[in-house]
C-alpha cells in the first residue's frame, strides 16, 4: 500500500469518534496562547466538522484531486483574513500527529512518517498563500 492509502485508512479509523477532533483542538490550543486566542469566539462543534473536511481535502489533494479548496483555505487563513502566522502550521502538524498516535490503534512509526509526507504538500500550499 502506498502512503496516501495508508493515511486515508488511518484517517478513517481516527474519524470514527468525534473525540479525535476534541483532542486535536485540546493539543493544538495548549501548544500556544496565541493559538488559543484565535479560537475564543469560535463555535468549536462547528469547527471540528470543518476541520474533519479540511484534513480530508489535504489527503485527497495528495491523492491527485484538485487543490482549489485548499487554495481557498490558504486565502481565508492569510494575512488579510485570519492572519495565521506561517510558523503556527508546525504546531498544527505536531498536534495532528500526536492525535493520530493517540487514536489510531494501528499506529506505527512508519505510519507517522507516511502522515508527515502526505500532509506536507497541503500544509505548504495553505501556509504559502500567507
Q: Which residues bind ligand HEM (CB under 6 A)?
A: 35, 38-39, 41-42, 47, 50-51, 53-55, 58, 73, 76-77, 82, 84, 88-89, 92, 123, 126
CA distance linking residue 26 with residue 5, whole number of Å: 27
For ligand HEM, give the closer residue by CB, 1 or 87.
87
DSSP state of 130: -
For ligand HEM, give the closer residue by CB, 82 or 108.
82
- Taken as a whole, the chain contains a residue count of 130
Give the nearest distance from C-beta 82 to ligand HEM in angstroms. Answer: 5
Give the nearest distance from C-beta 99 to ligand HEM in angstroms. Answer: 13
The three three-digit cell numbers of residue 19, written as one number: 473525540
For ligand HEM, give the closer residue by CB, 50 or 65.
50
**Coil, strand or helix at 14:** helix
DSSP notation for 32-80:
-HHHHHHTTT--HHHHHHHHHHHHHHHHHHHTT---HHHHHHHHHHSTT
For ligand HEM, give the closer residue by CB, 41 or 106.
41
**Coil, strand or helix at 19:** helix
Give the nearest distance from C-beta 36 to ligand HEM in angstroms. Answer: 8
Give the nearest distance from C-beta 11 to ligand HEM in angstroms. Answer: 12
Amino acid at each position: 500500500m502506498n502512503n496516501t492509502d495508508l493515511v486515508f485508512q488511518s484517517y478513517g479509523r481516527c474519524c470514527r469518534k468525534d473525540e479525535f477532533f476534541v483532542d486535536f483542538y485540546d493539543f493544538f490550543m495548549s501548544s500556544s496562547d496565541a493559538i488559543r486566542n484565535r479560537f475564543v469566539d469560535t463555535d468549536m462543534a462547528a469547527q471540528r466538522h470543518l476541520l474533519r473536511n479540511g484534513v480530508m481535502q489535504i489527503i485527497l489533494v495528495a491523492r491527485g484531486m484538485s487543490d482549489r479548496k485548499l487554495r481557498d483555505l490558504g486565502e481565508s487563513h492569510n494575512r488579510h483574513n485570519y492572519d495565521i502566522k506561517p510558523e503556527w502550521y508546525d504546531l498544527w502538524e505536531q498536534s495532528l500527529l500526536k492525535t493520530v498516535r493517540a487514536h489510531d490503534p494501528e499506529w506505527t512509526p512508519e505510519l507517522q512518517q507516511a502522515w508527515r509526507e502526505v500532509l506536507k504538500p497541503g500544509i505548504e500550499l495553505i501556509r504559502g498563500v500567507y
